[in-house]
């Protein structure tokens, strides 16, 4: 029986476990990446492990999220990451060099390699034929130290692409169509593998848009084959030496299959407040808009920018609209400056932002009250833009630019003929903003520079045998990490300071939660389906940990967040009978007895609700390794114990 492409790469890298769907496997990690909003914590954790030089083939630290620097905190974090990476043999991509996923694709990604990154959109690398997975900072720290990375051996979904995109229909429309069909929960426990004739019609940056936003499916990752287009891209990046051809076997067996005819797709848009709330642009055409933001790791490649510049050329942004554009990397910015495309954007009235995440993570450009904002980004969760009642629509750069001119949502197919946009034969290569690792002998002399905002990782203790604690919060379905630990310009600077950042934990849902949880001392959170979807931020586990949360009991979890809870030593529990959700209310006193033995033996966990006398039965499905992590009080304790 043949293998799928994902299976081939996983098999090549498997160092532990059996190749059985649903079972845990350990894989060797070739590359890691971090960004600054998760990176400080990841490097503090790495330092705590005491490994002098990273043991991966390549580890890269990027500064791209917290670039607003409205106080000293971000600059201190940048300085810390710059020095700690120098001390441990890690590449350092300086602020201004671009968004981690875009730069990694351009300069570092290699077909057939494994990459984990402390950012949920790490699967962007799947556009190059990598197994690229988003993970918590601690998992990345362990991988940098040479440790194995564990995932549940996923199901593999084949998405067969046929046909060819029509003019002005984009890669973004492909992934929006996948989201429309599969939903934000549809990819949990799965790898999405793209195959078929249609693949050949997509360039690497277009493929990367699709794999990037596969994160919104909840998928472990997404992957494209490595073919002639991959070679052309790598060649243009002067990196053809790393190319290898890769594809699934002809007789590969998949768990699920989906066929998308690219020729039949039309421009799509994800409506507030979920990336899977997809409609056709036609359905909403004419909707009045207030803002357009173009950029983010999903859609900020050179081709995206050239298309946008072409649409804007000789026009003026509609008087009622603010248009911002953030090119994804210094390479992209350099090239649009050299060819005059940047000038066309400026001429039209676009507000040019630095090559960073910016508005995507609420760092500026919050829309006006109840404002309608069209964005080429990947997430439109409530409040993420910085405006609580802002209405965010996700769409392609083509639709965004066409609408910026007219002031209403506009089908880009009305633009007439589309010129042929092709990848350049050679990109402008200048890696002067990436500091390469220094020689091992000199590493000792490097002083790690810490600012006053950088506080150590919170203390964790071994799992208690008996819990007698109240329910400190009850929330519904699809809670995102932006609900649990919001970002934005006010809160992001606190990413290195868990005591401070935890004051904002869950405040989107209930502003009294931090105070209440703290005063309860220890507590349990109750939630619905797909709890913790979205970001990889381990702060969404570390802040609750700091506030005394011992367990999170939900109907189902999103993958990365569940792993982050285990890593933090917080017990992830699931209702055996989802209807039991109704048996627990805020402030109810909950008792769990004999917990250590139940966790160790893998039985069901019984919770007695002392307030109403009812019993709730929960699942706590943990692998042997996860059991030990939970019993020791988290991955850091577990790793220290095993070192």
By the rule CB under 6 A, 37 interacts with ligand MIC:
yes
CA distances from 137 to 43, 65, 330, 524, 531 (A): 8, 15, 26, 24, 19
Core vs surface per residue 577-608: b (16+ CB within 10 A) or e: eeebbebbeeebebebeebeebbeeeeebebb
CA atoms within 13 A on the CB side of 25: 20
Q: Do the Cβ atoms of 122 and 116 come closer than 8 Å?
A: yes
Q: Name which of ligand SF4, ligand MIC, none residue 536 binds, using a CB cut-off of 5 to 8 Å depending on partner kind.
A: ligand MIC
> What DSSP element (H or E) covers 351?
strand 351-352
53 is annotated as an active-site residue: no
CB atoms near residue 19 (< 10 Å) = 12
The verdict on 365 binding ligand SF4 (CB under 6 A) reads no
User: Of 377 and 581, which CB lies nearer to ligand SF4 in the complex structure?
Assistant: 377
- Nearest to 215, CA basis, from 33, 481, 506: 481
Considering only the stretches 401-409, 411-419, 535-543, 618-626, report the one whose residues sit in contact with ligand MIC under the rule CB under 6 A: 535-543
Q: Pick from 176, 265, 360, 565: which binds ligand SF4 (CB under 6 A)? A: 360
Of 7, 30, 76, 119, which one interacts with ligand MIC (CB under 6 A)? Answer: 119
- 535 catalytic? Reply is yes
Number of residues in contact with ligand SF4, rule: CB under 6 A? 11
Of 13, 59, 65, 495, the active-site residue reads 65
CB of 378 to ligand MIC, least distance (A): 7
Q: How far, in Å, CA of 47 to CA of 454, rounded?
A: 13
Q: State in angstroms the smallest separation of the CB of 299 from ligand SF4.
A: 10
Q: Can 537 be counted among the known catalytic residues?
A: yes
Report which secondary-structure segment, H or E, holds 269.
strand 268-270
Residue 472 appears among annotated catalytic residues: no
Identified binder of ligand SF4 from the candidate list 27, 182, 333, 357, rule CB under 6 A: 357
Contact between 124 and ligand MIC by CB under 6 A: the answer reads no
Note if 119 is an active site residue: yes
Look at residues 165, 167, 384 and name the one whose alpha carbon lies nearest to residue 273.
384
Contact between 325 and ligand SF4 (CB under 6 A)? no
Structure tokens at 127: 């556009």
Binding of residue 385 to ligand MIC (CB under 6 A): no
Q: Shortest Cβ distance from residue 202 to ligand SF4 (Å)?
A: 20
Q: Structure tokens of 359?
A: 């508005």
Tell the smallest beta-carbon distance from residue 14 to ligand MIC (Å).
25
Q: Which does 537 bind (CB under 5 to 8 A by kind): ligand MIC, ligand SF4, none?
A: ligand MIC
CB of 126 or CB of 225, closer to ligand MIC:
126
Candidate list 373, 535, 556, 632, residue with the active-site label: 535
**Between 469 and 570, CB nearer to ligand MIC:** 570
Sheet holding 351-352, edge to edge: 278-280, 268-270, 391-394, 372-375, 291-294, 322-325, 351-352
When asked if residue 399 is in the footprint of ligand SF4 (CB under 6 A), the reply is no
- What is the sign, positive or negative, of the torsion defined by CA atoms of 621, 622, 624, 628? negative
The whole-angstrom separation of Cα 562 and Cα 13 is: 23
Cα separation, 12 vs 32, in Å, equals 18
Is 535 a binder of ligand MIC (CB under 6 A)? yes
DSSP state of 429: -
Nearest to 373, CA basis, from 356, 352, 355, 395: 395
- Indicate which residue of 13, 375, 379, 539 is catalytic: 379
Q: Is 536 in the site for ligand MIC (CB under 6 A)?
A: yes
- The number of angstroms, rounded, from the C-alpha of 613 to the middle of its chain's C-alpha atoms is 41
Rounded distance between C-alpha atoms, residue 55 and residue 145, angstroms: 6
> Which of the choices ligand SF4, ligand MIC, none does residue 99 contact, using the CB cut-off of 5 to 8 A by kind?
ligand SF4
Distances from the Cα of 80 to the Cα of 48, 99, 143, 489, 497, angstroms = 15, 19, 20, 20, 13
Binders of ligand SF4 in range 21-80 (CB under 6 A):
65
Catalytic residue among 119, 173, 304, 411: 119
Subset of residues 470 to 489 that bind ligand MIC, contact rule: CB under 6 A: 487
Q: Does 376 bind ligand MIC (CB under 6 A)?
A: no
Residue 297 touching ligand SF4 (CB under 6 A):
yes
Residue 118 interacts with ligand SF4 (CB under 6 A)?
no
Q: Could you say whether residue 99 binds ligand SF4 (CB under 6 A)?
A: yes
Q: What whole-number distance in Å separates Cα of residue 581 and Cα of residue 392?
A: 31
The total number of residues shown for the chain amounts to 643
Tell me if 67 contacts ligand MIC by CB under 6 A.
no
**How far is the C-alpha of 343 from the C-alpha of 293, rounded, in Å?**
18
Q: Which of 87, 88, 121, 559 binds ligand MIC (CB under 6 A)?
A: 121
496 sits near ligand SF4 (criterion: CB under 6 A): no
Q: How far apart are CA 590 and CA 550, in angstroms?
A: 12
CB 432 within 8 A of CB 329: no
- Binding segment for ligand SF4 (CB under 6 A), chosen from 79-87, 152-160, 353-361, 556-564, is 353-361
Of 78, 375, 495, 537, the catalytic one is 537
The site string for ligand SF4 over 121-150 (x = CB under 6 A, - otherwise) reads x-----------------------------
Q: Residue 536 catalytic? A: no
Q: Which residues are catalytic?
A: 64-65, 119, 379, 535, 537
Binding site for ligand SF4 (CB under 6 A): 65, 99, 119, 121, 296-297, 357, 360-361, 377-378
Residue ranges binding ligand MIC (CB under 6 A) = 37-38, 65, 119-121, 134, 361, 487, 534-537
């Amino acid at each position: 029986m043949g293998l799928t492409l994902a299976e081939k790469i996983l098999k090549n890298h498997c160092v532990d476990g059996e190749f059985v769907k649903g079972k845990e496997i350990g894989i060797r990690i070739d590359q890691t990446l971090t960004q600054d909003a998760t990176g400080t914590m990841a490097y503090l954790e790495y330092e705590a492990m005491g490994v002098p030089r990273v043991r991966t083939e390549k580890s890269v630290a990027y500064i791209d999220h917290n670039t607003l620097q409205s106080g000293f905190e971000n600059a201190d974090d940048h300085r810390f990451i710059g020095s700690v990476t120098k001390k441990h043999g890690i590449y350092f991509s300086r602020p201004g060099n671009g968004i981690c996923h875009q730069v990694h694709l351009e300069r570092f990604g290699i077909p057939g390699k494994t990459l984990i990154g402390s950012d949920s959109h790490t699967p962007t690398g799947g556009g190059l034929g990598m197994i690229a997975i988003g993970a918590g900072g601690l998992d990345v720290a362990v991988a940098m130290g040479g440790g194995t990375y564990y995932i549940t051996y996923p199901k593999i979904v084949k998405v067969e692409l046929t046909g060819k995109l029509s003019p002005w229909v984009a890669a973004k429309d492909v992934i929006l169509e996948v989201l429309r069909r599969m939903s934000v929960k549809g990819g949990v426990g799965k790898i999405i593998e793209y195959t078929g004739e249609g693949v050949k019609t997509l360039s690497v940056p277009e493929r990367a848009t699709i794999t990037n936003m596969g994160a919104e499916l909840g998928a472990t990752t997404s992957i494209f084959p490595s073919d002639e287009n991959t070679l052309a891209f790598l060649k243009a990046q002067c990196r053809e030496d790393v190319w290898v051809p890769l594809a699934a076997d002809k007789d590969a067996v998949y768990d699920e299959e989906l066929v998308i005819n690219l020729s039949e797709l039309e421009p799509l848009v994800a409506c507030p407040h979920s990336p899977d709330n997809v409609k056709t642009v036609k359905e909403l055409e004419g909707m009045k808009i207030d803002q357009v933001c173009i950029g983010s790791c999903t859609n900020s490649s050179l081709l995206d920018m050239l298309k946008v510049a072409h649409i804007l050329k000789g026009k003026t942004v509609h008087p009622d609209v603010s248009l911002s554009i953030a090119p994804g990397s210094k390479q992209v910015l350099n090239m649009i400056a050299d060819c005059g495309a940047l000038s066309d954007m400026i001429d039209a009235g676009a507000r040019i932002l630095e090559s960073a995440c910016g508005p995507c993570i609420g760092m500026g450009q919050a829309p006006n009250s109840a404002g309608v904002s069209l964005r080429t980004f990947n997430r439109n969760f409530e409040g993420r833009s910085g405006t609580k009642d802002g209405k965010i629509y996700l769409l392609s750069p083509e639709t965004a630019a066409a609408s910026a001119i007219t002031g209403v949502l506009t089908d880009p197919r009305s633009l007439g003929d589309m010129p042929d946009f092709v990848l350049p034969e050679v990109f402008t290569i200048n890696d002067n903003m990436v500091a390469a690792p220094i020689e091992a002998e000199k590493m000792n002399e490097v002083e790690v520079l810490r600012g006053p905002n950088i506080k150590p990782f919170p203390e964790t203790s071994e799992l208690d045998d008996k819990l007698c604690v109240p329910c400190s919060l009850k929330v519904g379905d699809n809670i995102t990490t932006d609900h649990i630990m919001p970002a934005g310009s006010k809160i992001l600077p606190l990413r290195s300071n868990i005591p401070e950042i935890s004051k904002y934990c869950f405040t989107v849902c209930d502003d009294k939660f931090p105070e209440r949880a703290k005063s309860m001392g220890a507590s349990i959170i109750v939630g619905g389906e797909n709890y913790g979807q979205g970001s990889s931020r381990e702060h969404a586990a570390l802040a609750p940990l700091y506030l005394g949360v011992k367990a999170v009991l939900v109907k189902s979890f999103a993958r990365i967040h569940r792993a982050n809870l285990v890593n933090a030593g917080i017990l992830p529990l699931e209702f055996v009978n989802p209807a039991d959700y109704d048996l627990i209310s805020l402030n109810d006193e909950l008792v769990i007895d004999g917990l250590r033995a139940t966790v160790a033996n893998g039985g069901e966990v019984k919770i007695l609700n002392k307030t109403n006398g009812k019993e709730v039965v929960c699942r706590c499905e943990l692998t042997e390794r996860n059991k030990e992590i939970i019993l020791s009080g988290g991955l850091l304790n577990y790793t220290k114990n095993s070192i």
